[in-house]
Amino acid sequence: MRTRFNPGRLLRPALALSLLLAAAIDAPARDTARGAYLVGIMGCGDCHTAGTMQGKPDMARPLGGSDVGWQVPGMGVFVGSNLTPDRETGLGAWSDAEIVTALRTGVRPDGRQLAPVMPYMGYKNMTDADADAIVAYLRSLKPVSTKVPGPFGPTEKPTLPYFTLVMPGK
Ligand code: HEC
């Protein structure tokens, strides 16, 4: 049987393709350079890059997780985690929205509230564009496989050096 030429059958895929191309062209390029700038001035590396607190940031593993923890009285000791796109030990398996929520509210995808050492209270008014730029920059990092220790509960013994709050005696 002879199939009749039906222009409608060609039109539909052509339309779908052009819509797809238009969407790709319309999507704004993610501002990785601004993200790098923001991550720099917001000091993420202070707490998320090993060595920074000793004045020698480990630039082989930028934002690959700290080697110094922070003790919060009554809460325990917390370590700035690996922010690189490694799936097992970093943020590789997190969605963009999950990262932005952690930045603005301190809530992790598993529901745990991050220790207030992570300055989410100061980041809560971050604009959508800045949050997106930070995520874009974090996604562009070289994945590093480092699982930071902790968090340690108030009665657990930390396995790494940590900062603490010393109350002066009266
Ligand atoms: C003063 C130190 C400090 C600074 C500055 C800081 N963080 Fe954190 N951040 C932490 C600590 C400590 C944790 C872990 C807290 C916990 O486990 O409760 C954390 C956790 C996180 C988490 C959750 C990751 C996870 O695996 O649970 C993300 C995402 C994050 N920080 C991103 C950032 C970004 C991006 C910046 C810069 C814009 C930044 N942080 C700046 C200390 C800091």
Q: How far is the CA of 115 from the centre of ligand 1 (A)?
A: 9
* Whole-number pLDDT of residue 63: 98
Q: Report if residue 132 sits inside a domain.
A: yes
Tokens of 119: 């300055």
The count of domains in the chain is 1
Tokens of 89: 């030990």
Q: Report if residue 137 sits inside a domain.
A: yes
Q: Report if residue 107 sits inside a domain.
A: yes
Average pLDDT for residues 76-85, to the nearest whole number? Answer: 98
Residue with tokens 């108030």: 154
Q: What is the pTM of this model?
A: 0.86
**Ligand 1 in contact with 133 (CB < 6 A)?**
no
Tokens of 91: 């943020």
How far does CA 40 lie from the centroid of its chain? 14
Secondary structure letter of residue 107 according to DSSP: B
* Whole-number pLDDT of residue 4: 65
Q: How far is the CA of 58 from the centre of ligand 1 (A)?
A: 17
How far does CA 83 lie from the centroid of its chain? 5
**Ligand 1 in contact with 99 (CB < 6 A)?**
yes
pLDDT of 159 higher than 90: yes
Q: Which residue range is the domain that position 73 belongs to? A: 29-55+62-163
Cα gap 91→80, rounded to integer Å: 13
Dump pLDDT digits (tens) for 21-35.
555 555 567 899 999
**Ligand 1 in contact with 88 (CB < 6 A)?**
no
Q: Report if residue 83 sits inside a domain.
A: yes
Pairing of strands 69-72, 76-79: antiparallel
Q: Report if residue 124 sits inside a domain.
A: yes
* Whole-number pLDDT of residue 3: 57
Q: Report if residue 50 sits inside a domain.
A: yes
- The 3-state DSSP class for residue 89 equals coil
Q: Report if residue 133 sits inside a domain.
A: yes
Q: Report if residue 7 sits inside a domain.
A: no
Tokens of 24: 């790709």
